[in-house]
Amino acid sequence: MNVTAPLILAHEIGLSMSTGASIVNIGSTDAYIGSFRSIAYSASKAALLSVTRSLANVLGSRGIRVNAVTPGWVDSGILTEPYEAARLTPLGRNGKPDDIAKTVVFLLSTDASFITGASLVVDGGYTGVDYFMKKEHEWAEPGK
């Protein structure tokens, strides 16, 4: 459903959308970093990013933009261990639903009128962290 539903919806509503309209798919940082237990989820989110780029190609000639937002850890009430993820994030916190919503609003707005086929990572820097490099840094600076 992570790929099929957005593809079908975009195909169906894309036919009736007017020039300047925009579609924003919701991906996940799992599309970039892989998984241990949710391999199918990660693969489907990676596929969604490819679908986003392809839809941008197909609908672009009609002036319709298609982008994706790929959130990292978000305090949505379903996390089991939110503090571990926040500790690994350079900004030191998990995202808030409002962080993601504001990004979607931006991509839907005319302020993003020349952005299409993009995947905007909203993760507080989480995907840029190499856990072992972070540990090495912490060991080199005792007391931090």
Q: What is the pLDDT of residue 88?
A: 83
Domain ranges of the chain: 4-140
- Are 62 and 105 in contact by the 8 Å Cβ rule? The answer is no
Q: What is the pLDDT of residue 77?
A: 77
Q: What is the pLDDT of residue 83?
A: 63
Full-model pTM: 0.89
- Are 90 and 138 in contact by the 8 Å Cβ rule? The answer is no
Per-residue pLDDT of the chain (144 residues; tens, 9 = 90+): 899 999 999 988 988 999 999 999 999 999 998 888 889 999 999 999 999 999 999 999 999 999 999 999 898 877 656 567 788 889 989 999 999 999 999 999 999 999 999 999 999 999 998 877 877 877 777 665
- The two structure tokens encoding residue 21: 């309209």
Q: The domain 4-140 belongs to what CATH superfamily?
A: NAD(P)-binding Rossmann-like Domain (3.40.50.720)
Sheet of strand 22-26, all strands in order from the earlier edge strand to the far edge: 22-26, 65-71, 119-122
- Are 68 and 119 in contact by the 8 Å Cβ rule? The answer is yes
Any idea which residues carry the catalytic annotation? 41
Q: What is the pLDDT of residue 44?
A: 96
